[in-house]
Amino acid sequence: MRALLPYLALYKRHKWLLSLGVVLAIVTLLASIGLLTLSGWFLSASAVVGVAGLYSFNYMLPAAGVRGAAIIRTAGRYFERLVSHDATFRVLQHLRVFTFSKLLPLSPAGLARFRQGELLNRVVADVDTLDHLYLRVISPLVGALVVILVVTFGLSLLDMTLALTLGGIMLATLFILPPVFYRAGKPTGESLTRLRGQYRQQVTAWLQGQAELSLFNASTRYRQQMEQTEMNWHEAQRRQSELTALSQAMMLLIGGVAVITMLWMAAGGVGDNKQPGALIALFVFCALAAFEALAPVTGAFQHLGQVIASALRISQITEQQPEVSFPAAATTVPSQVSLTLKQVSFRYPQQPQWALDGISAQITAGEHVAILGRTGCGKSTLLQLLTRAWDPQHGEILLNNRPVSEFDEASLRQAMSVVPQRVHLFSATLRDNLLLAKPDATDADLTVVLQRTGLDKLLEDSGLNSWLGEGGRQLSGGELRRLAIARALLHDAPLMLLDEPTEGLDATTERQILDLLTVVMQEKTVLMVTHRLRGLARFDQIIVMDNGQIIEHGSHADLLAKQGRYYQFTQRL
């Protein structure tokens, strides 16, 4: 239960709205009980007095009470659903923001051990499961407890013994059955949460890996694994349905026993009235209606297992401490950036080999540097250290002769523009995807930067309102790279970090991209990671890496004259 405490704290933001939902639920339950109780008594009393007593029997007041209870029940149910669901959606909104705000500082170190499908399932499905906490646990439990107290007090005005008997049966049911079915349903709820996450993770991996699975003839085997997980999931759902049916059967049984008990005890007299007549129906129908109010409680506690399991899965992520912490004090964003690396060494967690081993380099402001090397030599890792996705275990990185760890996150992000190897686009308009880099940019600014990067074609037809779709599927590889460069230019940072900007492009497009970079980034400090040699002659400095170390550095002409590793690379062309 402790796992729910951080999420219960979020309910305080909407405590009045949530409390109003509980109050409306209680009013609705009481109106429903009053309707059935009063209707049963009214019909029985009318039958007892017969035709002869119609003139002396006040049937107007009970009839008005029945109509009033029916109206209150209908209106109360409507507004209770309206308020409760609105409050729940507001809580879920804050919960999603809270969860994402905890996830963001963890990227990428704290999230590296989670697959994309698993992470998505925890952020979406597990967060959605937490809405059961209010709608199916807290509200029914509080409502049932208040109903028991009100019904017991109301019936005690007629007969204390009968009231306490019915109240005692209901109270015992409330405190015994829910914990029993919670214990019985906890393993099933945990299995449901785990299997749901596992199945969605497998589906996501299956969709993303269709090409590889088909290529290696593994699609059928993987599909069988998915089907087995789905069967296990259905089996867990079947077990939970059986528990739900059992809880309802137990509630019907106890309710039937309570009704028979009320019928038997009320037949002997109600209060001082030894001939209770229609009062017998009052107690019997009140017991029937009251147990209807208790019906959701036992089933609700079965969902508590799923809620706790989902809360634990979310807490496994949100309670992690970020690998990198930023100072709170704001720092000034420099207009020109120089970089200094002093004996920087880094290795990934639980990895014996150093990804970077004693890297030292000096990059002056405005200098264009290419970082060359085989795949896995540490090029991209170096860029991640510059952006403080990780911190080195040894050594120091200086930005304008100041440790990069002294910059607050906002200032550091403002000082850098990153063009990743894999360009991420949202399923939104062209304008929305560009505004990520500069939210206050005008349409004129966006148009200029698109024209500057050779993306005039995207302005045809719908212009900036063009829908790019998920991942920008209708764009070519060259257009994706140009769009990433356009966002980097909009961000207008003095330091540009380019990770394989020409990877996967044909020679013509690669040359166009390199020509574009030369023109638009003349006054900026540029670090471009690559393992291709085209266009490197135009860079001020070339750094050659291997096994996490810098083995050569200098200009294109100097490295050719040394006839070292860089010279060997050029001879292979």
CATH classification at residue 79? 1.20.1560.10
Note the pLDDT tens digit of each residue in 362-391: 888 888 888 888 887 888 888 888 888 888
Peptide bond into 140 cis (omega under 30): no
Same domain for 8 and 41, yes or no, is yes
**In whole angstroms, what is the distance from residue 425 CA to residue 483 CA?**
9
pLDDT at residue number 472: 66
Beta-strand pair 541-546/549-554: antiparallel
What average pLDDT does the structure give for the chain?
A: 83
Structural domain span for residue 191 = 2-318
Position of tokens 């005039």? 456
Concatenating the DSSP letter of every residue in 202-233 gives: HHHHHHHTHHHHHHTT-HHHHHHHHHHHHHHH
Neighbours of 392 (CB within 10 A): 22
Q: Is residue 324 part of a domain?
A: no
| Mean pLDDT score, 133-158 | 86
Distance set, CA 559 to CA 87, 210, 565 (Å)? 66, 44, 8
pLDDT at residue number 79: 92
Q: Is residue 326 part of a domain?
A: no
Spell out a b/e string for 27-54, using b for 16 or more CB atoms within 10 Å of the CB, else e. bbbbbbbbbbbbbbbbebbbeebeeeee
Same domain for 54 and 183, yes or no, is yes
The answer to whether 306 touches 132, Cβ cutoff 8 Å, is yes
Distance set, CA 200 to CA 189, 470, 500, 529 (Å)? 17, 19, 32, 35
Same domain for 248 and 368, yes or no, is no
Which of these, 559, 453, 278, 286, lies nearest to 569 by C-alpha position? 559
Concatenating the DSSP letter of every residue in 4-16 gives: GHHHHGGGGGGHH
CATH classification at residue 462? 3.40.50.300
Show which of 318, 348, 371 is a domain's final residue.
Answer: 318
Q: Is the pLDDT of residue 40 over 60?
A: yes
> Into how many domains does the chain fold?
2
Same domain for 306 and 343, yes or no, is no
52 pLDDT tier (thresholds 50, 70, 90): low
Same domain for 348 and 310, yes or no, is no
Q: Is the pLDDT of residue 38 over 80?
A: yes
CA 573 to chain centre: 48
Q: Is residue 274 part of a domain?
A: yes
CA 201 to chain centre: 15
pLDDT at residue number 55: 58
First to last CA, the chain: 64
Concatenating the DSSP letter of every residue in 473-537 gives: TTS-HHHHHHHHHHHHHHHT-SEEEEESTTTT--HHHHHHHHHHHHHHTTTSEEEEEES--TTGG
Same domain for 474 and 384, yes or no, is yes
SS3 47: helix
DSSP character at residue 134: I
Beta-strand pair 525-530/402-403: unpaired
Q: Is the pLDDT of residue 98 over 90?
A: no
pLDDT at residue number 50: 65
Q: Is residue 333 part of a domain?
A: no
Neighbours of 89 (CB within 10 A): 11
**In whole angstroms, what is the distance from residue 398 CA to residue 425 CA?**
32
How much of the chain is helix, strand and coil, in % rounded to 5?
A: 65, 10, 25
Q: Is 551 exposed, middle or buried (0-12, 13-18, 19+ CB in 10 A)?
A: middle
pLDDT at residue number 56: 61
| Mean pLDDT score, 133-160 | 86
Note the pLDDT tens digit of each residue in 298-326: 776 767 777 777 788 888 777 777 778 88
**In whole angstroms, what is the distance from residue 64 CA to residue 87 CA?**
33
Percent of the chain with pLDDT over 90: 4
Note the pLDDT tens digit of each residue in 460-477: 777 788 887 776 667 777
Same domain for 404 and 514, yes or no, is yes
Q: Is the pLDDT of residue 231 over 90?
A: yes
Q: Is residue 66 part of a domain?
A: yes
The answer to whether 447 touches 369, Cβ cutoff 8 Å, is no
Q: Is residue 137 part of a domain?
A: yes
Same domain for 297 and 355, yes or no, is no
Q: Is residue 327 part of a domain?
A: no
Which runs of consecutive H residues, i.e. helices, occur in 50-159? 60-103, 116-121, 127-129, 132, 139-156
Same domain for 560 and 472, yes or no, is yes
Distance set, CA 56 to CA 39, 46, 53, 60, 61 (Å)? 19, 11, 5, 11, 13
Concatenating the DSSP letter of every residue in 372-388 gives: EE-TTSSHHHHHHHHTT
Same domain for 344 and 313, yes or no, is no
DSSP character at residue 137: I
CA 23 to chain centre: 30
The answer to whether 171 touches 151, Cβ cutoff 8 Å, is no
Same domain for 296 and 350, yes or no, is no
Which residues fall within 8 angstroms of residue 99, CB to CB, at 6 or more apart?
123, 127, 314, 317, 318
Note the pLDDT tens digit of each residue in 523-547: 888 898 887 777 788 888 888 888 8
Same domain for 263 and 374, yes or no, is no
The answer to whether 202 touches 117, Cβ cutoff 8 Å, is yes
Q: Is residue 496 part of a domain?
A: yes
Q: Is the pLDDT of residue 346 over 70?
A: yes
| Mean pLDDT score, 231-239 | 90
Neighbours of 284 (CB within 10 A): 22
